[in-house]
Each structure stands twice: as structure tokens, then as C-alpha cells.
Amino acid sequence: MKTKIFYFSGTGNSFQIARDLACELENTEIISISKIFRAC
């Protein structure tokens, strides 16, 4: 099963934490919440 990490970041701090977590976990997808809302 693939792990999904959703993040919201204005300054990039949350994105960096999401990337760090993804590196420690296997089979992980990082998803930006702001990109999800822009698509609607």
C-alpha cells in the first residue's frame, strides 16, 4: 500500500518535513493541498 503525505506550505517548511518523512518511509507520495484546490 502506498503512503500519501498531504502538506500545505507557504514558506516551504512543511514541504521539507514532508520530503524528510518520505525519505524515511518506503513507497510514499507527497501531495500539495494547494494544488488539489487549484485543480477544482
* Stretch 6-28: mean pLDDT: 95
Residue 39 has what pLDDT? 62
Q: How many CA atoms lie within 13 A of 15 on its CB side?
A: 9
Cα separation, 32 vs 27, whole angstroms = 17
- For the cut 80, the answer to whether the pLDDT of residue 38 exceeds it is no
% of the chain surpassing 70 pLDDT: 95
